Amino acid sequence: MGAIIIKADKKSNKLLTDLAKKLGGDVINLADEQYEDFAIGYAMDSVKTGETIEKDSIILKLRKR
């Protein structure tokens, strides 16, 4: 099963939701915060390197800011 996410205005969302339901699809409404969480997670997954870094190294970098 596949999925798509379409971010649109309220009127367009209503139209797309109705169309998806008529076509037999399931519709899940996401709050803006949920959409942002998904987008950040997707971005993080796309740049994974498989490398690990020591916690102390990260803390030092954060403190330098």
pLDDT digit string (tens) for 21-45?
Answer: 999 999 999 899 999 999 999 999 9
Q: What is the pLDDT of residue 17?
A: 95
Residue 2: pLDDT band (50, 70, 90) is: confident
Top-confidence residue, 1 or 62: 62
Separation between Cα atoms, residue 30 and residue 47, nearest integer Å: 24
Contact 5, 35 (CB under 8 A): yes
